[in-house]
Chains A and B, each alone.
Chain A
């Protein structure tokens, strides 16, 4: 049972504080902030305890989302809840940042009141919540929907967070009430994260894909949506379907609202999307990529005992194109090579020469591994495709449907 929920800015300012059970002090907030800032790097921050109060928190949008409990509660429940709370805040307020939370505190209190009663989570579904929520969202600036060519992928945060949130993704879902001109749009994204380890001999040692199908819906009224996947999509090892190349995953889980009666035969997901963002389906594939891994690296390491320096320094670099950059990060003992664009089928090369104090044969053992972070638009590694996206009954007026694919690197490591 959740005792308190609070949201703190990165500096520890109280943005939201809600006590559900009246069993803990408000001082807990400062206690939490002191504890979380005093943590050393290797201490797990997720669950902390102070006297008989336990704090569970996540960080989203640069904010601390914290719940405290005095009972032996489930941290899974609490973390899932805090993540949903953050997602709902984003759905309702447009974006997730200190400013939007500050401006919409009344709305967030109202949400919290409906979501949790006496520490028991009641609901986190937008469909149900929209019946109760009275407060209108306050957005910091009007936004335009015209620049759709730039629509990035909402929610598809990569570890480098390079994807700027698109304007479409930062629109509050409820704003159609005031802005009658808001478009009826629906976005379906297939996002895959790739974890690859390539051994020093070039052999693929591990290749895992974690994928999900997400929907962000701006349609005011709920109508049934049918999403057709590749017919040859199969789950598990034994099952094979169709005559084409199998699109196979190991494990698949679905959102509770997804109806699967046509899934087994036709690979059709049926759902009445509620407003806001949802993950309809999650899937995993381990070890058997249907295609070659997207990037290969051919490293050579040479040593030259010629000169002796006392500092570690990047002496020279040769990059294949001027728009690339490279820098030596002494703190991480790494060279960061940034490539803005990498056309398909191309090969890029770079040569780095590094001075290392007291070079020995053993120093070479310390070289590597190489880790890559990237984003591949319009591609899925499993080959999962969306055949069609139908709304029934057809929406009156303009309704736009968008299907997007992207593959991110989760952890792409090449050993040397």
Chain B
């Protein structure tokens, strides 16, 4: 065993092989020695020598100099020696291509050997020698081996085709190996089938459009049959291949599911997960009311639970997958909460994953149990885990409203332990609870204030300061508390400084009399003594706001904050669907699409879940009754079928957008408003921290909702508007707050701009059409169109007198309609209309009129009266008229809402031949108040996530997919999700109108 002991001696060097010089000089003697041994006559000695060579190879020594000597040992009947030589060949052939040719003869000869082991060995090794010159010699032997009588040889040859294809794809096609490989799918030996499937799948991935792996019901049937007989590893290949198939209908889908289900009880977790992947995908096609659907759901839980009893490595990977499954179909595991409880000896990364899933599964039914567990975790030893457990309690409170009170009292108990990091985490999460349930738990503030001194982490300090500022009017000594933080202002982290600044301004606005000194102090600390631009800019903004217009300041600083959403870390719906298609793969562990980490084209085709049978149908369904019942299933009820009783319901939500939100022109993007808006956001946004969203809303100006998040921090200094206004102001600010700043206007003016600029550059207005021909109205012709300008809906009418007499006394009235449109004022046709004269009138409309569902939904019946008669006509308005300006949804809310709306309500449309890129489309749509919430690019596809809000408060969510890679594919795909699915097709019509004009 000298080579082994020698190996042991060298092991210290093995890991630092970079210093090759050292080895080549000292080991020269060794190489000579080996050379001699390799050429020895004794078989045993030869074998030992080759072993030594391989041992050196493993530790990284260069033994390529021995190539000819080793190849000389190849012609032997000793299988063990032959295998060793082949091992060496595979490693070095590439670096010595000319020498490798020497081995070809032996390979070809071995492929004819009577022993199938040797035939297979030769064909396997030849494929691994990645030398172009060898490939041509490989073809003949490979062709024979593909038809060999021994299945072991055939299955090895099948893989060899994939190897050869990787080296020389053209050769494989020319030689017709692909057809032979396809034939092997029908082989009698399941292992051959499995390898053929694996090889074809791999080759097919590099030819995405080829029909190589032609999956049709017949081949699927063959595969399903082979599935039962294969080894476990073969089963995985076959299941993964099945997962790429899209069944024709739900019946086929069910029958495949039925045949795959037995795999769920396999002992090999990889088989189980591949089966889960197939089932999760095909389940999508099954109607939910099918009995089998329920059965399948039940069958999925036990295997997933079983995975959690495996070793920690598998457990972790399983938990990452379960996390996805729970987000997609929470019903599968809703009764299995207990298995996710943490064991004390779980590794920390398993504990954290379990914690995450526990919260996702938390519901009213199990919350008591969960809370009791979390409280236990909060007393464990591991600091990181304890922190996460405390945070989890906060997340429970936000997720399950009924439990909020319990969670708060649990947190208070934990604060009583006075364990420093527990207290700090608890305060951070209580702040979030305040955000979710304002004015509910303020009684605990006193307890929190007691712990002020023990807070030493920035996040906890910032949270505490936020609480004090937010509830300054309830805390008697708020000024003292905040003042105490001010002493060490410059030593605090930016997060705390910003928060302290805001909190003191809030305090000042609430109790102006006692705190003037304090606010001056903090403003001067922030603006004069700080070199942090974010802090200084925020300081200046407050200063100007306070000095120019304290009322506006109040509106801005103390503006009502949007509630924080329940689930903060949901995966985007399309990404989730894609990840579900990749269950059991690395993508499901990273929670990233494969294209994000796999190089080149291999295995990165974009996968989508199949569409559920019958989905989207209800949107087009003419059956009103059915549509209405769908609405009543999904509150809030949106469109009442008939009558005013229901109309009242709607009116609750019907405040016209102009009443509390100043109209924001769609062209804002170009104005100073946006620059300021973006600037403000970035100033207030606290990018570095997770609680960014929280701080960002702090000083939310009432107007610019659509600029948020887009340019975080990007234009703090670069914005010309900011530059001008700040540059114009004296650097040393006037000391007295009462005195107006030298540069009048300041921010106040900028804010005003928002209300003043009323341009409708972007929004699309259809051309006027004739609504009432003169023939039908005794000579009065009315043509018109609808427009939305500055947030007000207008009906633009042209009256033409084609009669012989003068027309006077015009008046207009609307019938009840779906969205309560009504004239906001009388029809202003002032002068009498002479014959052949035309007058243009713009009639402002409100949406507060009586409501009745019309068919079609956007139909409007109008009555126009003049001195001659009353005339009736009906017209249809584009539903984009009703899209309000504050229709941009917060990202998180968007995610949660998208998930919340059942997938039956999703409708798919296609917009053909549209040549816009995603930015142009987004701009165009924004002109009509269709707001892009987020954009994601996957491969050659841009996906725009858009939100729209109607005047009656209905939200509509849309996903617009635009191909970017291929100039020939100009079709856009649109998915619309809405609680009132009957609106979807009208939204689609608007998209078409807007994008085409």
Contact = CB atoms under 8 A, between A and B. Distances in A.
Interface of A: 1, 9, 11-17, 19-22, 26, 30, 33, 41-47, 49, 52, 54, 58, 69-77, 79-81, 83, 102-103, 105-106, 109-110, 113, 117-118, 120-125, 131-132, 134-135, 138, 159, 193, 195, 197, 206, 208, 210, 250-256, 279, 282, 284, 286-287, 332-334, 360, 362, 365-366, 368-369, 371, 410-411, 413, 415
Contacts of B416: 362, 365
Contacts of B311: 58, 83
A384 to B, nearest CB: 16
Given A12-B15, A49-B590, A102-B4, A360 B270 contact: no
Contact of A279 (B191, B267, B379): B267
Interface string B60-103: 10000000000000000001100110010011001000000000
Contacts of B54: 105-106, 109
Contacts of A12: 15
Interface stretch (B132-140, B344-352, B389-397, B941-949): B344-352
B129 to A, nearest CB: 9
A210 B309 contact: yes
B273 A74 contact: yes
Interface stretch (B581-589, B697-705, B735-743): B581-589
A363 B341 CA distance: 25
B51 A54 contact: no
Interface stretch (B486-494, B599-607, B801-809, B954-962): B599-607
Interface in B294-315: 302, 305-306, 309, 311, 313-314
A64 to B, nearest CB: 12
A14 B14 contact: yes
A286 B159 contact: no
A58 to B, nearest CB: 5
B419 interface: yes
Interface stretch (B230-238, B612-620, B839-847, B903-911): B230-238
Contact of A411 (B51, B130, B163, B345): B345
Identify the 7 closest CB pairs spanning chains A and B, nearest first: A44-B349, A411-B343, A76-B270, A134-B80, A77-B270, A72-B594, A52-B599
Given A46-B317, A120-B195, A76 B302 contact: no
A1 B341 CA distance: 34
B15 A138 contact: no
Contacts of B830: none
B60 A256 contact: no
24 contacts: A1-B202, A14-B60, A16-B58, A17-B58, A47-B589, A49-B590, A71-B598, A74-B273, A74-B586, A75-B317, A75-B589, A76-B314, A80-B269, A105-B58, A106-B84, A109-B54, A118-B162, A123-B191, A254-B267, A256-B232, A286-B338, A286-B339, A362-B418, A411-B346
What is the predominant secondary structure among interface residues of chain A facing chain B?
Answer: mixed
B348 A41 contact: yes
Contacts of A195: 343
Nearest to A39: B349
Given A46-B313, A120-B198, A70 B128 contact: no
A252 to B, nearest CB: 8
Nearest to A76: B270
Contacts of A255: 267
Contacts of B348: 41-42
B820 to A, nearest CB: 52
Given A74-B584, A251-B302, A118 B128 contact: yes
B309 A284 contact: yes
A76 B338 CA distance: 23
B597 A54 contact: yes
B419 A73 contact: no
Contacts of A83: 311
Contacts of B94: 22
Contact of A282 (B91, B267, B585): B267
A124 B381 contact: no
Q: Is the interface on chain B under 10, 10 to 19, 20 to 34, or 35 or more residues?
A: 35 or more
Given A49-B590, A69-B586, A362 B419 contact: yes
Nearest to B235: A256
A52 B15 contact: no
B312 to A, nearest CB: 8
B313 A71 contact: no
Nearest to B417: A362
A72 B269 CA distance: 17
B686 to A, nearest CB: 25
Interface string B139-179: 00000000000000001100110110010000000000000
B7 interface: yes
A165 B345 CA distance: 23
Nearest to A236: B302
B163 A74 contact: no
A140 to B, nearest CB: 10
Contacts of B156: 117
B924 interface: no
A76 B195 CA distance: 19
A122 B55 CA distance: 25
A195 B308 CA distance: 12
Instruction: Please indicate which of the listed interface residues B156, B273, B344, B353 has the most CB atoms of chain A within 10 Å of its own CB.
Output: B344
Interface centre among B80, B419, B586, by most chain A C-beta atoms within 10 angstroms, is: B586
Contacts of A411: 343-346
B15 A14 contact: yes
Contacts of A72: 582, 585-587, 594, 597-598, 603-604
A403 B339 CA distance: 31
A350 B997 CA distance: 85
B233 A123 contact: yes
A330 to B, nearest CB: 11
| From B198, B318, B416, residue with most partner A Cβ within 10 Å | B198
Nearest to B378: A365
A193 B343 CA distance: 13
A19 to B, nearest CB: 8
A256 B270 CA distance: 14
Contact of B586 (A54, A105, A131, A360): A54
Nearest to A255: B267
Contacts of A110: 80, 83
B273 A76 contact: yes
A120 B80 contact: no
B290 interface: no
A38 to B, nearest CB: 15
B386 to A, nearest CB: 10
A113 B60 contact: no
A113 B158 CA distance: 16
B79 A134 contact: yes
Contacts of A365: 379, 416-417
Nearest to B593: A72
A197 B309 CA distance: 16
Contacts of B59: 13-14
Contacts of B587: 72
Contacts of B274: 74
Given A255-B267, A366-B417, A284 B343 contact: no
A250 B336 CA distance: 13
A54 B587 CA distance: 11
A332 B84 CA distance: 50
Interface string B193-221: 00100100010000000000000000000
A252 B1 CA distance: 46
Given A125-B231, A282-B267, 11 more contacts: A11-B11, A13-B11, A16-B58, A71-B603, A79-B317, A105-B7, A117-B156, A123-B191, A124-B232, A195-B343, A252-B265
Contact of B267 (A132, A135, A256): A256
A71 B602 contact: yes
A110 B4 CA distance: 17
Contact of A13 (B14, B84, B127): B14
Contacts of B418: 360, 362
